[in-house]
């Protein structure tokens, strides 16, 4: 029996919460998460270890019950305070961090596992189709231990895709692969999911992986999704100070919002959005320009620098004592104590300063 298909398609989480632990020592693993993933969309759920990513996937798949909120898949409520649809009835495929392949049966038997309700002939046809899609043709009789890490990962993906689920969930799918293999498998995974027209969420704590792989990233911190946006928007216009600090490198400089501009130690900067009162200005390292010192003006001083070849990070101390880290090309040398003038490429993003 499959779930009835109704609109709207895709996944909708509304105010989902999940608590573990005891009354005296509760752990709020997932705290009021709302998130939409449209049908056919592939998003990343990005956050540090322990922020609630795996629990969120387990709630969507039905391995945990929600304490509050609701989850809808293709228009059907699968979880709420009064509903709990069993995992096997949710049409959700999950790829676990350790792949969880059945070790004593072949690749083919692993993939056929999810197709129990089909005839033998249909099972065979669907398995061969999915083996082809995932680039595993010819390996169907191998045992899991006879496969490379990348191949095992693809078997886990093939097993999840075989029953044609409404949604695929991947929990840190690349964490068991070495760096060289990871880049290749990443690209393959994107292509396979695209070809399968799957709606998918992949979980990672690696921001480079998230930002480079998908069109939309949901940032999860302390059990909550703080912002879901394109990688470009997350980096250039973080919704909060905590997201700004988590994504990339962030400097903060105190200032006073005057509406369209912000007054600060580095002059009057154009504000991306109207803001008034005491603020913290977000300055990404590449938005800070280091210029030769000008006679008669107070200078900043180089405190230290890290040279990477393609670029370098230079930490300077402003006349008031604030430290800022700037990114610069490799050509100039920044020796310790060198006096400089600091300029900012605006417009800038700023957040109301916490009292």
Ligand X SMILES: Nc1ncnc2c1ncn2[C@@H]1O[C@H](COP(=O)(O)OP(=O)(O)O)[C@@H](O)[C@H]1O
In the list Mg ion, ligand X, none, the entry touching 93 (Cβ below 5 to 8 angstroms by class) is: none
Q: Which is nearer to ligand X, 96 or 113 (CB)?
A: 96
SS3 state at 331? coil
Pairing of strands 216-221, 200-204: unpaired
Sequence length of the chain is: 355
Residue 156, token pair as written in the block: 């886990």
Cβ atoms of residues 205 and 52 within 8 Å: no
Least distance from ligand X to the Cβ atom of residue 27, Å: 5
Q: Give least dist CB 31 to ligand X, A.
A: 10
Q: Is the peptide bond before 8 cis (omega within 30 degrees of 0)?
A: yes
- What, of Mg ion, ligand X, none, does residue 55 touch, CB below 5 to 8 Å by kind? ligand X
Closest residue to Mg ion, judged by C-beta, is 54
Indicate the residue among 54 and 134 with the shorter CB distance to ligand X.
Answer: 54
* Residue nearer to Mg ion on the CB measure, 54 or 346: 54
d(CA 32, CA 59): 13
Which residues are within 8 A (CB) of 96 and not within 5 positions of it... i.e. 6 or more apart?
156, 171
121 contacts: CB under 8 Å, gap ≥ 6:
none
Q: Which does 227 bind (CB under 5 to 8 A by kind): Mg ion, ligand X, none?
A: none
Quote the least distance from Cβ 350 to ligand X, whole Å. 29
Closer residue to Mg ion (CB): 24 or 49: 49
Q: How far is the CB of 54 from ligand X (least distance, A)?
A: 3
- Token pair recorded at residue 352: 């109301």
Cβ(17)–Cβ(31) under 8 Å? yes
Minimum gap (Å) between residue 43 Cβ and ligand X: 16
* Joined tokens for residue 20: 């573990």
Q: Which is nearer to ligand X, 157 or 203 (CB)?
A: 203
Q: Judged by CB, which is closer to ligand X: 21, or 138? A: 21
C-beta closer to Mg ion: residue 220 or 300? 220
Minimum gap (Å) between residue 57 Cβ and Mg ion: 8
User: What does 50 bind: ligand X, Mg ion, none (CB cut-off 5 to 8 Å by kind)?
Assistant: ligand X
Cβ at position 33, least distance to Mg ion in Å: 15
Number of neighbours of residue 29 by Cβ within 10 angstroms: 22
Using the minimum distance from each CB to Mg ion, give the nearer residue, 17 or 54: 54
Burial 169-204 (b: 16+ CB within 10 A, else e): bbbbbbeebeeeebeebbebbbebbeebebbbbbbb
Q: Which residues bind ligand X (CB under 6 A)?
A: 20-21, 27, 29, 47, 49-55
Q: At what angle do helices 179-195 and 149-161 cross, to 10 degrees?
A: 20
Neighbours of 125 (CB within 10 A): 12
Q: Name the strand (E) or helix (H) holding 126.
A: helix 120-133
Residues that bind Mg ion (CB under 5 A): 54
Minimum Å gap between C-beta 123 and ligand X is 33
What is the H or E stretch that residue 341 is in?
Answer: strand 339-344
231 binds, among ligand X, Mg ion, none (CB under 5 to 8 A by kind): none
- Which of Mg ion, ligand X, none does residue 285 bind (CB under 5 to 8 Å by kind)? none
Element housing 123 (H / E): helix 120-133
């Amino acid at each position: 029996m499959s779930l009835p298909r109704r609109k709207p398609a895709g996944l909708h989480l509304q105010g989902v919460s999940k608590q573990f632990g005891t009354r005296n020592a509760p752990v709020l693993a997932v705290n009021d998460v709302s998130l939409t993933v449209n049908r056919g969309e592939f998003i990343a759920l990005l956050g540090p270890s322990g922020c609630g990513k795996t629990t969120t996937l387990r709630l969507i798949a039905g391995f945990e019950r929600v304490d509050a909120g609701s989850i809808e898949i293709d228009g059907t409520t699968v979880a709420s305070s009064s509903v709990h649809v069993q995992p096997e009835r949710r049409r959700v495929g999950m790829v676990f961090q350790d792949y969880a392949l059945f070790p004593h049966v072949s690749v083919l038997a692993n993939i056929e596992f999810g197709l129990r309700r089909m005839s033998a002939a249909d099972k065979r046809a669907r398995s061969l189709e999915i083996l082809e899609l995932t680039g595993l043709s010819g390996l169907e009789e191998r045992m899991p231990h006879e496969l490379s890490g990348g191949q095992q990962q693809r078997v886990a993906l093939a097993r999840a895709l075989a029953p044609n689920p409404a949604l695929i969930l991947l929990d840190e799918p690349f964490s068991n692969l070495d760096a060289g293999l990871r880049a290749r498998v990443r690209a393959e995974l994107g292509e396979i999911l695209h070809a399968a027209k799957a709606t998918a969420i992949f979980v990672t704590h690696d921001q480079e992986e998230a930002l480079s792989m998908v069109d939309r990233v949901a940032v999860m911190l302390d059990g909550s999704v703080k912002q879901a946006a394109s990688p470009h928007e997350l980096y250039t216009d973080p919704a909060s100070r905590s997201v700004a600090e988590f994504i990339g490198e962030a400097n903060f400089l105190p200032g006073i919002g005057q509406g369209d501009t912000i007054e600060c130690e580095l002059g009057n900067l154009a504000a991306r959005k109207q803001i008034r009162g005491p603020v913290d200005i977000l300055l990404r390292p590449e938005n800070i320009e280091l210029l030769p010192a000008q006679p008669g003006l107070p200078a900043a001083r180089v405190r230290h620098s890290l040279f990477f070849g393609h670029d370098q990070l230079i930490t300077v101390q402003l006349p008031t004592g604030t430290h800022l880290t700037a990114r610069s090309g490799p050509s100039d040398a920044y020796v310790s104590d060198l006096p400089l003038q600091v300029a900012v490429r605006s417009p800038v993003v700023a957040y109301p300063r916490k009292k």
